[in-house]
Chains A and B, each alone.
Chain A
Amino acid sequence: MAAVVVNNLSYCYQKGGKKILKDLNFTVKQGQILAVMGLSGSGKSTLCLCLGGIIPHYLGGEMSGQVLINGQDTAECKIARLALEVGIVFQDADTQLFSPTVEDEIAFAPENLCLPSDQIRQRVDAVFDMVGINHLRYENTNNLSGGQKHLVAMAAVLAMDPAILVLDEVLVQLDAVVKENVVEILLELRRRGKTIIIVEHDLEAVTIADRVLLLEDGMLVNDGPASILQDKELLARYKLVM
């Protein structure tokens, strides 16, 4: 079964306004890493919001078409319910972290799932080990560097153990060493059968993708294997390389 199905998805933030997404159609198989690329303003982040159900539930606007997450229509399912299936790491780490310590931040999601405290502890420890941030466990989230904040935000989402992980321009904000570490984590998650959607405009960050979607002005202009990243002529046409 496809993990994500997007059917004729169109969206504009204000009724009758400019369409940010225009008639998108694609599916993502379980265990696949999909990269969504495009210039700023091409609708990448809006697509992430649609995948997490934030559109149409939280933000207004006009959405048409359908997004199915493991068979559930996002328009008919609450965001918090969808969170059990899709984990989204947003661009701005500052607004995702609110707990006094990193451990509390990572425990927040499993606590919401009503797990017993020993299972919460197990999940938290497993995520700390996986992301390699054990040394930050008792740090105040306010005092972390930008890269560390992104790692913690990602760890906090991984603690939900979602079947689908969406990263909205996270990799591009990490330094080379941390990025390599995150790429390893993503590959491990793929081995475990997780579906990963990486939204980026940095070519280097998406070399691990199985498939690449190119968005331009809200339209899907290319859907192909990762090898299209080698096609300089194609990338230049969409201004992804100079």
Chain B
Amino acid sequence: MINLDPRAKIVIVFCPATLAVFFNTPEPLLVVLIITMLLLRIFQVQYISLIYKFRRLLPLLLVLLLVQSVFTGHGQVLIALGDVQILTTGGVSSTGCVLLRMLILFGSAMIIATNNSRDYVLALVQLKIPYEIAFMVLIALRFLPVFVQEAKDTLIAMQLRGVDIQKVAWGKKIKVFTYIFSPLVSNVLLKANQLAISMEARGFRVYPRRTYLRVLKYDLLDYLIIILSLSLTLAVLTLSIVR
């Protein structure tokens, strides 16, 4: 695997993400997605699982497809129910764009995950971001799976007490979820408080600056990749605007 400076990876991720937001037709977005997939392959990221996970979004995309077709009404009508347009080429195109954009954004974000999160703290600090903010990012990333696990544990605890969430009626489900979220929020606050105490008790913010065990240094390859990524993105953006 190519061992790049995390700052170079941030730039690489920034480029397809920018293009994904800029384009609003499926064709260029598909090209950007292919480039993102190639990048994932270069960084040896298993992206098949990402595509597989997106199957859960299918119902949402179907709703989006209907909403776009019925309410925006642009493009050729494919299916109609009397005067109401159910499916239009415009709706298909818009929904396709949303899906492609999401795949590009999630895919490019997976490149970030190929480095240790502490390296990104270093990267952000060396990019002159205050270290308190850089650590906030690190802790948010570190505790996200912990909170997901905590929510699952609370759900299991409820099921062990005889609440079968699958069999609960939709109206009551909301009430059940409030039972899950109340302890979750309280635990999150408690953990955040304990973590803050633990960090301060180890001298966090004792001085206005801090030093680091490792220091990031750009290689020639990092410079080349940063220049190439930015130049290509700027060229594509300029050409699209001029045309």
Contacts and interface: CB of A to CB of B under 8 A. Distances in A.
Interface string A89-103: 010101110111101
B202 A90 contact: no
Interface residues of A, number: 41
A117 interface: yes
Interface in B177-214: 191, 194-207, 209-214
Interface stretch (A34-42, A106-114, A210-218): A106-114
B211 to A, nearest CB: 5
Interface string A149-161: 0000000110010
A81 interface: yes
A86 B215 CA distance: 29
A95 B191 contact: yes
Given A95-B191, A100-B116, A120-B211, A80 B142 contact: no
Interface residues of B, number: 31
B201 A117 contact: no
B210 A111 contact: yes
Nearest to B143: A98
Interface string A101-132: 10110011111111111001100100000000
Nearest to B200: A79
B118 A112 contact: no
Q: Which interface residue of B138, B203, B207, B212 has the most chain A CB atoms within 10 A?
A: B203
B227 interface: no
A142 interface: yes
A45 B205 CA distance: 24
A152 to B, nearest CB: 12
A234 interface: no
A156 B213 contact: no
A119 to B, nearest CB: 9
A124 B206 CA distance: 19
Contacts of A107: 212-213
A193 B239 CA distance: 71
B59 interface: no
Contacts of B145: 142
A107 B152 CA distance: 32
B139 to A, nearest CB: 5
Given A117-B212, A124-B213, A112 B117 contact: no
Given A107-B213, A117-B215, A90 B198 contact: yes
A96 B198 contact: yes
B213 A80 contact: no
B213 A103 contact: yes
Contacts of A43: none
Nearest to B191: A95
A98 B117 CA distance: 11
A139 B1 CA distance: 20
Interface string B106-142: 0000000000111000000000000000000011001
Nearest to B193: A58
Contacts of A56: none
A110 B207 CA distance: 12
A98 B143 CA distance: 8
Contacts of A110: 213
Contact of B200 (A58, A95, A142, A157): A58
A116 B210 CA distance: 10
15 contacts: A79-B201, A80-B204, A80-B206, A83-B200, A83-B206, A87-B201, A87-B202, A88-B201, A95-B194, A95-B195, A96-B195, A100-B142, A115-B211, A117-B211, A117-B215
Interface of B: 116-118, 138-139, 142-143, 145-146, 191, 194-207, 209-215
Given A83-B203, A121-B213, A142-B146, 14 more contacts: A54-B197, A54-B201, A58-B200, A80-B200, A84-B206, A95-B195, A96-B194, A96-B195, A107-B213, A112-B205, A114-B210, A117-B214, A142-B142, A157-B202
4 cross-chain pairs, A with B, having the tightest CB-CB distances, nearest first: A112-B203, A80-B206, A95-B194, A107-B213
